A and B are shown apart, each in its own frame.
Chain A
Amino acid sequence: MSSPETGSRHSFHRDVEVMGTVITIDLYGGGARDEVITARRVDAAELQLQLADEIFSTWKTQSPLSRLRRGDLSLVEVPDEVLDVLEACRCARRASQGWFDPWSMPGGVDPTGLVKGWAAQRALNELRGLDLTGAVVNAAGDIASFGGPDVGQAFRFGVVRPDDPMKLACVVESPGAVATSGTYLRGNHLINPFTGEATSTVSATVTGPELGLADALATALAIAGRAGMEFIDALEHYEGLVIETTGTYVESQGFQMLENLLI
């Protein structure tokens, strides 16, 4: 967010319209002397997002993913990015003990639950090495970041309330990636891979070092609900928060909440 606050050295903001939404890139720290280099790196970050959209769009009938799903392309013909994402999906399926399963989707493999986070993480990685205190790529609510708003500070991100998305449920200190998934706004849109049925659950947030996996795990946790804490607790470096329809919070063992705004 670009609103000025104490201890923030916000220095750059860009909106990227991609993947049917708006992804924001924000930089903190750094000086005018690096403007040209910075702009070039932000362009490279944006290109990663556009590339992911071209490759993985399930809306574009000629995207490599769409063609793979139809059987027009085989796995030896797809771009390397597709293989990378499918490998990341396999890791996420294992990490979530099967709750995240792009192969259970109707219409063929659908890695959409991981792609946005994966792409945002790749975009963020283009921004490393610049003279910054931190950077944030916010892919429509799934956030990849490094550093902080100022030297020695960590980013703080709000998690929206499932019952009122205009308000925040809590604030977390970012370990890098924060992803939230839920069914609260659009009804039953998550599918339980074990039954093939849509589930009606809650808001699920996962924090950790890498957004591709966090994104997939948040999807899995939203489907599994509190039962999913078992796989979250079995993972190192990833933590989870489920907010149930009753407003009850269920946290993984190491989840750090800075402010609980529901109390």
Chain B
Amino acid sequence: MNYYFGVLSVNVTVAGSKIVKVTIGSINDGGNYRSQSIDQMSIPQLEQQAIAAQSANIQGVSGASYTSAGFHQSLQSALTKLGL
């Protein structure tokens, strides 16, 4: 999966029809960095939901993460392959 800063792959763990885990398989950004805030550009919402599901009684997750259209598309293609 190509994204703004390089190549990214996503691993999705599924039990039945539920996502139980979403991890980054690999990331290669070619050592490129653009600004002091690059990591703030994003957090994939699906990743957040996966985390939040593990912790009861919170209304959101704060954390720096990938920039992600790339993550999103990669996750979507993983789900499509899995037939979800």
Contacts and interface: CB of A to CB of B under 8 A. Distances in A.
A141 B65 contact: yes
Interface in A90-136: 100, 102, 105, 110, 112-114, 116, 136
Contacts of A186: 5, 27, 29, 38-39, 66
Contacts, number: 199
Given A141-B64, A180-B63, A186-B39, A20 B69 contact: yes
Interface in B48-73: 48-69, 72
Contacts of A102: 36
B52 A158 contact: yes
B41 A112 contact: yes
Contact of B55 (A24, A168, A188): A168
A249 interface: no
Nearest to B3: A20
A189 B56 contact: no
B42 interface: yes
B65 A185 contact: yes
Contacts of B53: 3
B23 A185 contact: no
Interface bracket on B:
35 or more
Interface bracket on A:
35 or more
Nearest to A99: B36
B37 interface: yes
A185 B45 contact: no
Interface in B5-51: 5, 21-24, 27, 29, 33-45, 47-51
B35 A105 contact: yes
B58 A21 contact: no
Given A1-B59, A21-B67, A140-B43, A167 B29 contact: no
A156 B35 contact: no
Given A1-B49, A59-B4, A165-B65, A157 B56 contact: no
B42 A159 contact: no
Say what secondary structure dominates the interface of chain A: mixed
B34 to A, nearest CB: 8
A155 B58 CA distance: 7
A13 to B, nearest CB: 10
Given A5-B57, A140-B40, 6 more contacts: A2-B49, A20-B41, A22-B44, A58-B34, A182-B64, A186-B66
Interface of B: 4-5, 21-24, 27, 29, 33-45, 47-69, 72
Interface of A: 1-3, 5-8, 15, 19-22, 24, 26, 28, 58-59, 100, 102, 105, 110, 112-114, 116, 136, 138, 140-143, 145, 149, 155-160, 165-168, 171-172, 178-191, 193, 198, 203, 205, 215, 218-219, 222-223, 261
Q: Which 8 A-B pairs have the closest CB atoms?
A: A160-B63, A21-B42, A113-B37, A141-B43, A140-B43, A22-B45, A182-B64, A112-B37
